[in-house]
A = this chain, B = another copy of it.
Amino acid sequence: MNKKILNNPEKVVEEMVEGMAMANPNRLKKVEGFNILVRSKKKQEGVALISGGGSGHEPAHGGYVGSGMLDAAVAGPVFTSPNPRSVLKAIKEVKTNEGVLLIIKNYSGDVMNFKMAAQKAQDEGIKCDYVIVNDDIAINNPEDRRGIAGTIFVHKIAGAAADGGYNLEETKEVANKAINNIKSKGVALAPCYSPSSGRPSFEIGENEMEVGLGIHGEPGVEVQELKSSRKICKMITNNILEKMEYDKNSQFSLMINSLGATPLMELNVMAKDTLELLKNKGLTIYNCYVGNFMTSMEMKGASLTLFKLDEELKDLLNHPVDVSIKL
C-alpha cells in the first residue's frame, strides 16, 4: 500500500536531510544549498571519508556521518545518483591535508559521478581517491555486482583506519581488503513505492519472493516461492559461502539487514537460523549486527552479509563510533 507521511514529494530529500541535521545538531550539519550532511565539527586531521548515492536507503548514508565513520554523505534524489557538482562540494567541505577517500557503491551512475568529482578535485590540487563496493553476489560477474548493506562495514573499517592515522593509500588499501572480504545477498517480499509517482518498484505474487534484489527497487534476479526463514537463510548463506575463500579458522562478522519494513521479530528469527547454520558448519561468528542499516524505503525483505575478518579488520571493526545507530 502506497501511503507516506510527507509534504511535497519533490522536496522530500531536502526536507529529510534538514530533519536529520536538526535532530542531531551536535553531530550533523547540512551544507547550505546542497543535500550534503557533514560533521558539525570538521575533522582537522586524518583522511576524510565521503559516501553517498541516491536517497531512500536511510540510515545510509547521512546516519553514518560522525566520529569514527564518515565525514560527509551526499544525498541524491530518490534512487538517483547525486551529481558530480554535489560530490565535489562535499570533497571541498571536508578535505584535509591527508586527502579524501570516496566510498562508492557499484552502480553506474554513482561510479560515473563520484569518479568525475574525484578527477575534478585532483585537477584542483586536492588529494582524492576512491574505492568501489560490490558486495552483492546475486550478480555473477564481480564487475557488475552492486554495492548493498556490506557498504556499512566499509564505512566502519575506513573510518577506524582514518582515525588511527592511516594515510590515504593505506586507508584505501584496507578498505579494499574489507571489500574483497564482504559478500551479501537479499530477498524481497514486497516492493517499495516512489514518493513522487506512488508506483510500486515491482509487482509480486502473494506467495512469492524476489531473490537477489538490489536496493534501488529493482526486482531480484529470480522469483521463488516464499520459504521459511530457515530455508531462506540456508540458501543465502550457502550462496555467499560458495563465493568466498575461507577455512575452518576463519572468523566472520554477520549483518542481518532489514530492507525497510521487516520487523526485528523476523530479523531476529533470521539471526537465530543463520547463526545456528554457521555454527553447524564449524564457522566462528565474531559479532553480529541486526537492524535497519541499508534500506529501500518501505521494502519488505532482508539481506545477509558475511564479512571475513583478520586481526587488523577486527581491531578496526572494534573502533568506537558516534553515529545515528549502534554499531
Contacts and interface: CB of A to CB of B under 8 A. Distances in A.
Contacts of A292: 264, 292
A177 B281 CA distance: 52
A274 to B, nearest CB: 9
B326 A269 contact: no
A82 interface: no
Interface string A292-311: 10010110111000000000
A56 interface: yes
A244 interface: no
Nearest to A326: B326
Contacts of A24: 288
A269 B19 contact: yes
In terms of DSSP, what is the predominant structure of the interface of chain A?
mixed
A149 B270 CA distance: 25
Given A260-B261, A325-B291, A266 B20 contact: no
Contact of A12 (B195, B265, B291): B265
A275 to B, nearest CB: 5
A284 B288 CA distance: 38
Interface stretch (A165-173, A213-221, A228-236): A228-236
Given A5-B301, A195-B265, 15 more contacts: A5-B270, A6-B228, A6-B269, A7-B228, A7-B230, A7-B273, A15-B269, A19-B268, A19-B275, A22-B272, A23-B275, A263-B295, A291-B324, A291-B325, A325-B326
Interface of A: 1, 3-7, 12, 15-20, 22-24, 55-56, 58-59, 63, 187, 189-190, 195, 206, 209, 226, 228-230, 232, 256, 260-273, 275-276, 288, 290-292, 295, 297-298, 300-302, 323-326
23 contacts: A3-B226, A4-B189, A5-B232, A5-B269, A7-B269, A7-B273, A12-B269, A15-B272, A18-B272, A19-B275, A22-B272, A23-B275, A23-B290, A59-B264, A195-B265, A262-B298, A263-B295, A263-B297, A264-B292, A265-B297, A324-B326, A325-B325, A326-B326
* 6 closest cross-chain pairs (CB), A and B: A19-B272, A19-B268, A58-B264, A261-B261, A19-B271, A3-B189
